[in-house]
Structure 1
Amino acid sequence: MDVFEALATRRSIRGFRPDPIPRAILEKILGAASRAPSGSNIQPWRVRVTTGAEKAALSLALRAAHDAGAKVERDYHYYPRIWREPYLARRRACGLGLYKLAGVARGDSAAAHEQRARNFDFFGAPVGLFFSIDRDMEQGSWLDTGMFLQSIMLAARAEGLDTCAQAAFCDHHDVVRAHLGIPDDQALVCGMSIGIADHDVPANALVTDREPLENFVTFGPEA
Structure 2
Amino acid sequence: MSTLPLNLETDDFKLPAPAMPAQATLDQVLKRRHSTRSFRPDPIPPAALSALLWAASGVNREQVGGRTAPSARDWKEVDVYAVLAEGTYRYDPRTNRLLLVSPEDLRSATGVQDFVAQAPLNLVYVAELDRMVDAASEDRPFLAGADTGFMAQNVYLCCAALGLGTVVRALIDRRRLAQALGLPPNQRITLAQSVGYAAATA
Taking structure 1 as the reference length, what is the TM-score of the superposition?
0.57
Which residue of the partner structure matches residue 75 of structure 1?
A: none
Q: Which structure 2 segments of 5+ residues have no match? A: 1-23, 58-67, 89-103, 133-139
Taking a change above 3 Å as real, the CA distance of residues 9 and 37 of structure 1, as seen in their structure-2 partners, is same
Which residue of the partner structure matches residue 52 of structure 2?
A: 29
Cα root mean square deviation, aligned: 2.4
- Give the number of the structure whose residues are more often helix, by fraction: 1
- With a CA cutoff of 8 Å and minimum separation of 6, indicate the structure with the bigger relative contact order: 1
- Give the number of the structure whose residues are more often strand, by fraction: 2
Which residue of the partner structure matches residue 178 of structure 1?
A: 179
Runs of 4+ in 1 over 4 A off after TM superposition: 53-57, 59-63
Which residue of the partner structure matches residue 126 of structure 1?
A: 120
- By how many angstroms is 1:29 displaced? 2.0
Give CA-to-partner distance per residue, 1:123-182, whole Å, 9 cap, x none. Answer: x2111110111235423343222111111111122111111111111xx11221222223
Which residue of the partner structure matches residue 149 of structure 1?
A: 152
CA distance in 2, matches of 1:143, 1:26: 23
Taking a change above 3 Å as real, the CA distance of residues 18 and 151 of structure 1, as seen in their structure-2 partners, is same
CA distance in 1, matches of 2:110, 2:51: 29
Taking a change above 3 Å as real, the CA distance of residues 181 and 140 of structure 1, as seen in their structure-2 partners, is same
Taking a change above 3 Å as real, the CA distance of residues 183 and 118 of structure 1, as seen in their structure-2 partners, is same
Taking structure 2 as the reference length, what is the TM-score of the superposition?
0.62
Aligned length: 145
1:9 aligns with 2:62: no
CA distance in 2, matches of 1:119, 1:178: 21
Give 1:118's aligned amino acid.
Answer: D
CA distance in 2, matches of 1:177, 1:41: 25
Taking a change above 3 Å as real, the CA distance of residues 140 and 25 of structure 1, as seen in their structure-2 partners, is same
State the percentage of identical aligned residues.
Answer: 31
Larger radius of gyration: 1
Q: Which structure 1 segments of 5+ residues have no match? A: 67-116, 203-223
